Chain A
């Protein structure tokens, strides 16, 4: 069992938890994820590793309640335990292979959509600590869905905030901010965009105009997360790749986002049913 040692509600639908998992805390790196199950009949739910504390042996996760299983995660309290908690899974971000000299002085732009702030945070933190220049754009539908504002401010040189409805920061989309920064003459060596699939698609189209290398992190449907089932397959550069072992991060310009979005909605109807507590499958 994996104990929740701290829980904070960041917004009414987003919660942050520190979970006891010493081996994982010791081996986790930016860009990786884990899988949790809340109970015996539960689904395996992939979540990004947002932070890790090797001394305390804890791993931090941030969950947004969007359906039955993620809601169940958010209902757990401090002192409760996860039935299963496995990771780190997936490949670490490419830059962890770069030397400190290669990182120092490089200019990075991060684009975080909604909950994407969670996976962006450990990356920005890692690079900032190694002396890179880090700018972060955070966007969300409204101010209630903005998370990690303070923390992100601590690990970035410039933080730009926007909301669809203008309830915080600028009114508009992250792509508007990208265009604005570029119009101001900013330049970056590398960019990373993480958020809902649709936002990553448009961030990719926008960034392409400026010829900046861009990495995205694909939150596909997953089952095992170990390369065993192929549920997470995506087309990258015309080839089928498994997001859980070949990714989750890929070169944005190679990703077939339309296919990825279509595959992500595969279980939509079944999940809606499950949310209404119907039984699925056998009962004819």
Chain B
């Protein structure tokens, strides 16, 4: 028998093969593997894992049900706290959350909580298990702006409490970043994202796409004209940043959001959609987060030789460890301690390369990470016909600009307290719109807290 200290490995697509397709990288556990992995959990009295899950899923309880083969019960336990388990099991940065705190991680490998959560969620879907119990309708209308994880989590909690919830989404498909940002090979759209969103709809939540709140209708009008009694803003942080270096508007320079939106939301990766994508043969991606990994691995799958350029070292890469590992296996070239200073172009205005400077780590900055400083005279060029900027995003100012009584801070984030309450009574906010770009599960956590606060507010 295998040692209890090592986890059951998860089967994955061969790196060489998957580098040429958009099928999911990880196959996930089958029943036998899931039970074996679940049996490693020692069912702690004071589970450290739960304390480190932003939505406090009852982890040991659901895992016990997996060991017993009671998957429906396991799913029910998860559903109490998480309305998107198949998503979170796939994309949470588990190594710094639940799994990072697991007691088994001290001497060996932590329980693969994320993979078990995914197993239960996938099993539920395949076996048609969904939970739609809810309180009888109380007829009170609540509006949600944005159908990302924050909005979906807020909507499902409120629907369960009996509210009449409508989500307004500006894009033509619901899901926020789950739909337009995270690629198919990490998060399948039809099988996973759309099914989990349908589960939210099954609770009675209405989703109206093609509505720009702030333009098609303002929050003020939602209250005055359409009789909504409270509003939750989960509009995310979609505005891409650029570096402001020369050459950034050359043809062939894209924000990661543009590249990923063309590929994911518009379906350009499949070759069956009308939206074009410019793939290039040598792609340089600037940045080190999940967004940079996703853009690089998408470019690779579309046939380009791909390099990631990051100004700190591998230790500081903000992306999930699993994604960095996968990216390397697939053959992406990592250039650490490297920062672009200029994008080079030809006489027709198309990109030909990236001029970079070497960096070294200096004193720690505000974030506690050592600040990268340029090494004088170390400039060198990287050849590229496409450059993708993945430097982070900030909240879109549209809603704050068109709603009375809402404040933003100097980063453009909506100001809200820990329950999501903004300066204006009845208007709540959460997720990336408040925190700046963060994670799926933190956004969901914020959505759930706001749902509780909205319930409180409306009961008064």
> Which residues of A are interface residues toward B (Cβ below 8 A)?
23-24, 27, 32, 37, 41-44, 68-69, 83-89, 223-224, 226-231, 233-235, 240, 245, 259, 262-263, 265-267, 270-271, 274, 279-284
Ranked nearest first, the 4 interchain pairs of A and B with the lowest CB-CB distance are A229-B258, A270-B276, A86-B210, A228-B238
The reply to whether B271 and A226 form a contact with Cβ atoms under 8 Å apart is no
A41 and B274 in contact, given A27-B217, A226-B238, A262-B251 (Cβ under 8 angstroms): yes
The reply to whether the CB of B188 lies closer than 8 angstroms to some CB of chain A is no
A281 and B269 in contact, given A42-B274, A226-B212, A228-B240 (Cβ under 8 angstroms): yes
The reply to whether the CB of B69 lies closer than 8 angstroms to some CB of chain A is no
A235–B272 alpha-carbon span in the complex (Å)? 33
Chain A residue nearest to B209 in the complex (CB): A84
The reply to whether B238 and A41 form a contact with Cβ atoms under 8 Å apart is no
Which stretch of B4-12, B31-39, B155-163, B260-268 is in the interface?
B260-268
A/B interface sample: 25 pairs, CB < 8 A: A27-B217, A41-B267, A41-B273, A44-B172, A44-B275, A68-B274, A84-B172, A84-B210, A86-B212, A87-B212, A87-B215, A223-B275, A226-B398, A227-B238, A227-B396, A228-B180, A229-B257, A233-B242, A240-B244, A240-B249, A266-B278, A270-B278, A274-B274, A274-B276, A282-B270
In the complex, what's the smallest C-beta–C-beta distance from B222 to chain A, in angstroms?
11
A86 and B272 in contact, given A27-B215, A230-B254 (Cβ under 8 angstroms): no
The reply to whether B172 and A83 form a contact with Cβ atoms under 8 Å apart is yes
A215–B301 alpha-carbon span in the complex (Å)? 43
A141–B279 alpha-carbon span in the complex (Å)? 35
Chain A residue nearest to B393 in the complex (CB): A228
Chain A residue nearest to B225 in the complex (CB): A26
A279 and B272 in contact, given A27-B215, A85-B210, A228-B257 (Cβ under 8 angstroms): yes
The reply to whether the CB of B196 lies closer than 8 angstroms to some CB of chain A is no
Residues of B near A262 (CB, < 8 A) are 251, 348-349
Contact of A267 among B238, B248, B276 (CB under 8 A): B276
Chain B interface category by residue count = 35 or more
The reply to whether A69 and B238 form a contact with Cβ atoms under 8 Å apart is no
The reply to whether B249 and A233 form a contact with Cβ atoms under 8 Å apart is yes
A64–B447 alpha-carbon span in the complex (Å)? 44
In the complex, what's the smallest C-beta–C-beta distance from A194 to chain B, in angstroms?
20
A271–B274 alpha-carbon span in the complex (Å)? 9
The reply to whether the CB of B302 lies closer than 8 angstroms to some CB of chain A is yes
Contact of B216 among A87, A228, A284 (CB under 8 A): A87
A284–B300 alpha-carbon span in the complex (Å)? 13
A226 and B276 in contact, given A86-B216, A240-B248, A280-B271 (Cβ under 8 angstroms): no
Chain B residue nearest to A24 in the complex (CB): B216
In the complex, what's the smallest C-beta–C-beta distance from B338 to chain A, in angstroms?
23
A43–B274 alpha-carbon span in the complex (Å)? 5
The reply to whether the CB of B303 lies closer than 8 angstroms to some CB of chain A is yes
The reply to whether B274 and A88 form a contact with Cβ atoms under 8 Å apart is no
The reply to whether B242 and A230 form a contact with Cβ atoms under 8 Å apart is yes
The reply to whether B398 and A227 form a contact with Cβ atoms under 8 Å apart is yes
Residue among A68, A233, A282 with the highest chain B CB neighbour number at 10 A: A282
A223–B211 alpha-carbon span in the complex (Å)? 16
With A41-B274, A43-B275 known, 10 other A-B pairs at CB within 8 A are A41-B272, A84-B209, A226-B170, A262-B251, A262-B349, A266-B251, A271-B276, A274-B276, A280-B276, A281-B271
Chain B residue nearest to A90 in the complex (CB): B215
In the complex, what's the smallest C-beta–C-beta distance from A280 to chain B, in angstroms?
6
The reply to whether B271 and A282 form a contact with Cβ atoms under 8 Å apart is yes
Residues of B near A44 (CB, < 8 A) are 172, 266, 275
Residues of B near A223 (CB, < 8 A) are 258, 261-262, 266, 275
Chain A residue nearest to B226 in the complex (CB): A23
The reply to whether the CB of B92 lies closer than 8 angstroms to some CB of chain A is no
The reply to whether the CB of B319 lies closer than 8 angstroms to some CB of chain A is no
Residues of A near B262 (CB, < 8 A) are 223
The reply to whether B303 and A89 form a contact with Cβ atoms under 8 Å apart is no
The reply to whether A88 and B215 form a contact with Cβ atoms under 8 Å apart is yes
A270–B209 alpha-carbon span in the complex (Å)? 29
Residues of B near A234 (CB, < 8 A) are 249
The reply to whether A282 and B302 form a contact with Cβ atoms under 8 Å apart is yes
The reply to whether B215 and A259 form a contact with Cβ atoms under 8 Å apart is no
Residues of B near A226 (CB, < 8 A) are 170-171, 212, 238, 396, 398
The reply to whether the CB of B239 lies closer than 8 angstroms to some CB of chain A is yes
Chain B residue nearest to A278 in the complex (CB): B271
